[in-house]
Every structure is written in structure tokens, then in C-alpha cells.
Amino acid sequence: MSYMALYREWRPQIFQDIVGQQHITRTLQNAIKANRIAHAYLFCGPRGTGKTTTAKVFAKALNCKEGPNAEPCNQCNNCIRITDGVSMDVLEIDAASNRGIDEIRDLREKVKFSPTEGRYRIYIIDEVHMLTTEAFNALLKTLEEPPHHVIFILATTEPHKIPTTILSRCQRFDFRRIGTGEIVDRLRDVCESLQVQTDEETLTLLAKTAEGGLRDALSVLDQCIAFGGQRVTVEEVNTVLGTVDQELLFKMVDYFINKDSTSALFLIDDIVNQGKDLRQFSKDMTEHLRNLLLIQVSDHAGELIAVTESTLQMLEEQAQKVSRNMILRLIDIFSLTEREIRWSNQPRLNLELAVIEACKAEPKYSFEDLAAKVEELEAIIRQGYVTPAIAVNSKKQPEKQPVDQKNSVKLAPKNDVPGNSLTLEALKNSWPEIMEKLKKAKRTAHAFLIEGNPVGLSGRRLIIAFPEDYAFHKENIEKPENREIIEKVIKDITGEEIRVKCKFLSETMSEENEEEENSLVETAIQLFGENVIEFSD
């Protein structure tokens, strides 16, 4: 018999053997016991988490000659044929290669036939998100009202690409990433069965590399066994995957702490000469820094970090040498480097620049210090005065001469304009009445003015602001025939001679900011004198 890959040889054949998806297997088993079998299911989740495997076990449980039972017997002819993939009643379709409307039309014709061996005719459509829009539309009616003997099981890694009309007709089950501990347990069982010697650190490294996919972990283990024979070590896993030894990550962080850029660059040279994946190194470094950060911020970091006891102790020792601000800064550096290396023609240069940047001295101020300073400055601004720190001119000021009160001239207030008692607030209160009268006088002018708002009144000049999207309205209001009738209506309502000026809203906002700055300058002059203030950009 030809060799079978580990992930196929160790594929679960009953619900109990499916790892990490108890919330799904229990629901399906209860549905079988209660005879509450739906006509369509959607299995979605990351790769290698058991979607297709669960679908096949479910199909066996439904068509088992001893059932339907919560677990298939795996002894009857139906179970054996489904396991071997030759059953005429359980059809597995790859939607990636059968994605057109013609294939779905053919499927619609076949669902009419009754099952030949079991109770149900079950269609497992893998990667269903690859179907075309036309194919989904053709499948829709059949999925909504299929024959009583037909069950559809749709599997996908990208459920967001499936039309909502399909989603609403299926019972959805979300498969989760499998925990590192559960993957380690399964790998240990496989190694013991194959009499392969390994250790806990190696199994943990394999599990972390799989990123929640048991199939990926078994595939890498299979490759490592082919490389190293009956003994699998951390060094062999690193060689197969192109990852670096954990010890190198500890060394590199020590170089960062000591600001030893020369040693760090030589270490990069060794990694390159060993043929390691530089992007993977950046990713591993980010993971290592994340572990250090968790140890600093949590008393239960051991539960969050998938490492051995010896590695955890080394992490705790190194975490005491480095500040939290430095860790955060290094995480930013290597996260960015990982993204840059992905599309770079010179990945070594990107990594060397990152290492040099990481070896620089820490910032003088921490995030907390900067936040405190910003808060202090905001408090000063809210109090409405300028601190004496801005006075930089140290020239001696001449003594002020006494002013002859009799001959002094009293200046009128800046905003006080003779003959105009109208305020902006009063004008805004009268604005609805003005608009109503304008509508009767000239409808087109009223229609253009609806999008404008009075925002300023300087003497006898009224500023009407328009959003930038309404330039057409602004231009029409500026036409003499429209502007004059608006001014006439305002005079009829308020009794004041007012001239209308149109501006964009952004222009009025910039003018307001300039006025605020001028107000601050005037306040500073009043506090410190006109000649002791020196401003610089």
C-alpha cells in the first residue's frame, strides 16, 4: 500500500476524535438524537480546523446502517464507503473547480434522484465562496426547498463572500482555531504511535507554527520526520521551517538593551548565512517582544504564552532588564519591518535598518510623561492666559510717561459702529422671517439662500457662509439682482442698511481661528507689555 500523509492517516472518524470543536460536534449529535436534521449547513472557519472532516463524520452518522446514531459505527458498508470517498450518496464537490452555472444546473438535476444506499443524499460543497454569482443564484431555489432526502453542507474559509440570501437559508457553524495545548496533545499521541522521539519544546514549537490548524501541524511533523528520522528536535524544526532558534532572539534583545549595534548586525549576518527567512525572523522577534510585554503587565502571563517552563523563566529574567516603553517601541519597529520585507527587493537592508534603529537610545520622555505635559498645556489654555515663558526679550523698557487726562482721547470700542444697533444674534432670530418674506419676493433667490447661514456681522456687513459643495448657490446669491433683493428684505425686517457678503464655510473658520490668535496676542501684550513679547514660528 502506498504511503499516506499523516493528516490523512490521523483524520478523525468519529465526533469524539475531532479536536477543539466540541461546541459544534455536540450540537450535531443532539440534532441527530432529536431527529432535527436541517436541510442545509454552513461550516466556516480557518483552514485545517476540521470543517470537511466534521461534514464527513456527520454524513456517516446520518447514513450509518446502525443509525442514525450520535456516532457512526465505521463498520457497516455505508460508513466504509463514505470513509473511502466512493459512496454514491455522499458527494464532495470542489467549488473552486466547479464554480460555474452549468455545474450547478447539473447538480439541480441530480438532487431529484433518491439515495441508493443510505437515508440521505448529502452534498458537501467545499470552498463554496468560489462559486460565481450566477451559480449562487441557480443554487438558491434548490437550497431553499430541496427534496426531503437531500442535505447540503457548505464549507468555506471566507463566509463574508457568500450572498446573504444563501447564508439565511443555512444553519451556520463557526469553527475556531484549535488551542496550542490541544494540538500538542494530538501531536504527542501521533509521535508515541509512530515511536518518534521528541520533547515538549519541539511539540510546542510545531503547535505555535500551525497557528491553530491541526492539519498544518501534522503536515510539518510529517516533513520533520522525513528530514530527521525517528527523532525530531527543535533544531530540525527550525531547519525545515526556516525559523531561528529561540536563543538568538534572547541574544538580539540583549544587544538592543546594551545598544550594541555591531553585535546585532553580525548576528543578522549569521542568520542570513544560515539561509533563514528574514521576514519570519521579524515575525518571531515581534512574538518574543509580545511575550516580554505580557510578562511585565500580567501576573498570569504563563497562561497566555505558549512556551515551556524553562523558556518562561528566561523570558521573566529578560523582562526585568528592559523597560516597557522600549518594548513598545521595538514592537512598532519590527511590526513595520515585517510588512516592508514582504514587498522589498532588499530584505536584509530593511532588517539591518530596523536593528540599527532598535539599538538607539530610549526616548527621553515616556508616553506617560508626554501625556502629562500635554494635559498641563491644555489646562493652561483653558484658563485663558499666556505663561510668562514666552517673554524672551530682555531689553530694559523705558519708563512710562504720565498721560494728561484732559488732553487724552477716548477711543470708541472696536466693534462699536455708529448708527447700527443690530447684532448677529438678533439677526439670526429674525432669519426665519427674512427667509419667508424672501420666498414671497423671489423664489429663486430663496432657493439659493437656503444652503447659506449668517455667521458674522461686522458693522453693516453680513457674512453668509456656504459649504464648499454649494458653490453654485453662492455664485447666484452674489449676483446683483439677487443680492440687492436680499438686502432690501433684511432692511424691511430689521430696519437697518445691511450689505451681504458671501464666503465659504472654511474661509470663515480660518478667520475665526485668526481672530482667536489675535485675541491671545492682545492678552499677552496686556499682561507683559508690548515690547517684551517675541513670537517665532
Confidence bin at 514 (pLDDT 50/70/90): low
Give me the percent of the chain exceeding a pLDDT of 90.
32
pLDDT of residue 151: 92
Whether 180-241 and 424-513 share one fold: the answer is: no
Confidence bin at 106 (pLDDT 50/70/90): confident
Report the distance separating Cα 474 and Cα 336, nearest Å: 47
CATH fold group of domain 180-241: Helicase, Ruva Protein; domain 3 (1.10.8)
CATH fold group of domain 424-513: GMP Synthetase; Chain A, domain 3 (3.30.300)
Q: For the chain, what are the domain ranges?
A: 6-174, 180-241, 246-358, 424-513
More confident residue, 400 or 323: 323
* Phi, psi for 41 (deg, rounded to 5): -125, 150
Confidence bin at 187 (pLDDT 50/70/90): very high
pLDDT of residue 509: 66
pLDDT at 269 over 50: yes
Q: Which amino acid is at 208?
A: K
pLDDT (average), residues 302-308? 78
Q: What's the DSSP call for residue 112?
A: T
Mean residue pLDDT of the chain comes to 83
**What's the pLDDT tens digit per position in 166-179?**
999 999 999 999 98
pLDDT of residue 515: 52
More confident residue, 420 or 448: 448
Confidence bin at 408 (pLDDT 50/70/90): very low
Model pTM? Answer: 0.60
Give the least confident one: 256-270, 275-289, 415-429, 446-460. Answer: 415-429
How many C-beta atoms lie closer than 10 Å to residue 533's C-beta?
16
Confidence bin at 532 (pLDDT 50/70/90): very low
3-state SS class at 362: coil
Give the least confident one: 4-18, 54-68, 232-246. Answer: 232-246
Confidence bin at 97 (pLDDT 50/70/90): confident
pLDDT (average), residues 133-161? 88
pLDDT at 516 over 80: no
pLDDT at 115 over 80: yes
pLDDT of residue 394: 44
Report the distance separating Cα 386 and Cα 124, nearest Å: 73
Confidence bin at 387 (pLDDT 50/70/90): very low
pLDDT of residue 411: 38
Contacts of 3 (CB under 8 A, 6+ apart): none
CA distances 211 to 121, 159, 180, 190, Å, are 35, 20, 8, 19
Give me the percent of the chain exceeding a pLDDT of 70.
85
**What's the pLDDT tens digit per position in 344-381?**
889 999 999 999 999 885 655 566 666 777 777 777 77
Confidence bin at 410 (pLDDT 50/70/90): very low
Buried b (16+ CB within 10 A) or exposed e, 382-402: eeeebeeeebeeeeeeeeeee
pLDDT of residue 537: 45
pLDDT at 298 over 50: yes
Report the distance separating Cα 201 and Cα 313, nearest Å: 14
Confidence bin at 27 (pLDDT 50/70/90): very high
Report the distance separating Cα 51 and Cα 95, nearest Å: 15
CATH fold group of domain 6-174: Rossmann fold (3.40.50)
pLDDT at 388 over 70: no
Task: Specify the CATH number of the domain 246-358.
Answer: 1.20.272.10
Contacts of 506 (CB under 8 A, 6+ apart): 468
pLDDT at 141 over 60: yes
Taking Cα atoms as reference points, which of 14, 22, 83, 89 lies closest to residue 49?
22
pLDDT (average), residues 473-484? 88
Report the distance separating Cα 482 and Cα 491, nearest Å: 15
**What's the pLDDT tens digit per position in 190-249?**
999 999 899 888 898 888 888 889 999 999 999 999 988 888 888 888 888 877 888 899
